[in-house]
Each structure stands twice: as C-alpha cells, then as structure tokens.
Structure 1
Amino acid sequence: MTGSTTGRRGGLLASAATAVLLATGCAAGSGDGPPAASGSTSPAASSSATGTPSPTSSSTAAPSPTGTPPAARATPTAAPEDRPAVLDASEPVSLTVPSTGTRSELLHLGLREDGSLEVPPEGPGSPASWYTGSPTPGERGPAVLLGHVNATGGGPGVFADLRQLAPGDRIEVARENGSTAVFAVDRGEQYGKDDFPTLEVYGNTADAELRLITCDGYDPATGEFDDNYVVYASLVS
C-alpha cells in the first residue's frame, strides 16, 4: 500500500454505541452508517427533503444508522503480487461516468457535531460528495461517494442514472495531484433499511474500491424511501 488512511479509517473499529436515526428525507429508508475509527462513535445520517419524486425514483444519498454497527473486520494482510496496485493518497476533485454522461464536482463532507453524516445540498445541480472518513479514491479500501437521485421539486439529481450502470462501466475520479483514479463497476445492490450491510459497504477491503450510494425504494403511500442503492466498483488504473 502506497497511500495511508491513518486518521480516517484506522482499523475501522466500530463503536458499540447505538446511532440515532434522523427520520427526515431519505433517512427513513437507509441502513447503517459507516463504522467509525477507534475511539469515536459511529455516525448517523440524515438528509433534507428533496421534493416529491416519482414512485420509481430515489432521493438523497445519506445512509442512516438504525442500530448498533457490527465490529469491523481486521485489516487485510499483505497483498499477493496479482493484486491491483493502489494509488497514493490524494483528495478527489470531480467524478465522471462516461456511460451515463454524469459529471460532477465533488464536495468534501464529514460528520456533523451530533455524529450524523453530512450530505450534499438537495437543490438542482447539487454535486455529489466524498465522505472524508473514507479513503481517498484510489487508496486501499472503500472510498465512499454520496449523491442525490432527485432534486428539490422532483428534478433529476446527480445520481439519477445510478441504476443504469452495468458491470464493466468506467467511473473516473479526478484527484488533486492531477491523477485520475479509474474504476470499473462490479455490481449494484438494493438494500432495505433493516438489512443494510454496514460492514460490506464501509468495511476495510484488500484492494482500492469505490462505493456510490443513493436512496431507493420510494413508497408513495408514506412519502418515504425504504432502501439504499449501492454501486460497487474496483480500481483498474
């Protein structure tokens, strides 16, 4: 490993404290938030309402804890020679998905004082964000990007086309040092709020990976979102 995530995700030892669900916007339809570094609490997550979406659309990207996060798995052992190389740490600047025409500058958002996860503004044209508690894209581990599926008033959000991504599609993240981390989509998964796989999404990984997260499962009867949609991708160059 050439890049270091020390200070952001060192060990990924989750707190045993129960996180608080802030039931606004997408929060009612989200799963557990990211495990915290040792000695801190696990973040809850919330978002503001983003207007009335269609029954098939999703909303904001905030994964919201609904229970006690599981303990994180141990840091991976030394990589075999055939493991893809990882990149030095460099914070992300922008995101491009050629297959869907998605382009976005990236905000850098972390945790609020109450431990909840910050999410991007929900207005039209709102960019996606990088969760600063995760590795920088291209470092070993899962870099986490959050984005809205719809905007205030029901227009499309930056991750409106997330479900269109297919295995092998490229995701490009431009970085501050002038390099670009290129990922290939592995799969997309929809998770209910009660079975969100916190460790699978946020836990340490042997390689450099990427997670794109938004909300899904809009219920017109309640006006809430019951699910999250997560795209998993792996570094290819």
Structure 2
Amino acid sequence: MIEILSPTDVLRAKDTGALVAGILQRLKSRCVVGTNLLEIDQWARAMITEAGAQSCYVDYEPSFGRGPFGHYICTSVNDAVLHGLPYDYPLADGDLLSLDLAVSLGGVVADSAISFIVGDVRPPESVALIDATERALRAGIAAAGPGVRIGDISHAIGSVLTAAGYSVNTEFGGHGVGSTMHQDPHVSNTGRPGRGYRLRPGLLLALEPWVMADTATLVTDADGWTLRSATGCRTAHSEHTIAITDDGADVLTLPAR
C-alpha cells in the first residue's frame, strides 16, 4: 500500500519526526563506555511512554524476523547493521553503534537511524563508513521531490556509496511510512534513474543508506533478528523520514539546533 497523507497528517508527522529526532539525540548523549544495550532500550521505552507515543517495534512481527521484536529500539554494534536486538552487552571504547527508532504519535509514524562511535577511540574505517552513509542520505534527500521517480533517489544514494568503495546490498532499504511503519514503495539503496513510482506531495519516505566495509552479504544472528556482515566487518546506517511537498522534500527527523 502507498499512503498519501493529508496536509493535517503531514503536520502530525512533523511532531512525530521531532520526537524521534529528540529521543535519538538524548540517547546518543547517554551512550558512553560501559552503557549496556538493555539500558538504552529501557531509556527509549521511558521516553516514548512519557511523550504519549507508541513503539513500532515491540509487537513488530514481519516474515523475516523471529517475532515479535519485543524491544523499543534497534541497537546494532560494529558488525551488526540492521534490526539489532538489544541484549546484555556493555559498550566498549571505539564501538560503532547504530540506533534505529520508529514511533507513532497522533496516528502517524516517523523512522530514523543514527550511527556514531562510542568513547574516545575513533577507528578510521568506522569514521569512513558513517560519513559515506550520511553523505548518501543527503544525496537521496536532495534528489527527492514531486514528480521524481523512486529510481532517481536510489541512484543518488547508490552513486555516493559505490564512489566511496562500498558494495550495496538491495535486500533491505528505504520505504514508505504513514499510519504504519513499513509501507510501499520500497526505496533501494541503488538503482536506475527515471524508473519506479513517481513521487507525490503527501508521501512520506524513510530513506536509509547502510553499508558494510568489505561485503554486501548479510547473515542473521541466532536471535532471529540481528543482521550482521557475513565477514564480521564493521557497518553503518543512517536514516531520515522525509515528506514530499509541492516544491521539494521536508526532513522530518532532523535534530533541533
């Protein structure tokens, strides 16, 4: 299903996006060496509940996971890149942590992810991975607008990732959002321009470039959820929810300045 939101629902989506962005930044500020992934999940639960919002993950049970997910946020560390199930792990200096959060507020969903390095050690490979996904995300956003094809966004994202030397996995990518978290259209992280669905005002998209340092192959953890690089290499993931407008695209999940 492709859902086109009314102007009133887009305004609600801005509130949801601001909430998601704020929670992610608060969580990032709390993540230090020794922070446990389960603590992050507990903090996310408290922040979501305090805002009167609902988690999109707790009862999430898609065909590819061993559901329900049962937690409030995805916490992916180092070689984990997507759907990281929180577990009893204290963060170490130099860990690359990705936090992926989707919530519903006022009946509208926003979805965002950030990747960052914990502590003082800053491995160059990790810095490069994060930079590439953030630049690819900016390129995808810049390409979005009314009348643009999905393939134009995919091509913009993929061009940045491949130019940075990374292979692109197309099993998981961006997607539509609205009254639910995962909707059509699928937005691959690479593609051909001029192809696919033509964007319309009122469409919400979650764009999410992610890469692995030396492979495009994923493996699934024994937990049935966490997706890791097949080679054990490091990974990164960046995501924003955008709303297509009459003259471009608004980023709904930008942190407040």
Q: TM-score, normalised by structure 2?
A: 0.27
Judging by fraction of residues, say which structure has more helix. Answer: 2
Judging by fraction of residues, say which structure has more strand. Answer: 1
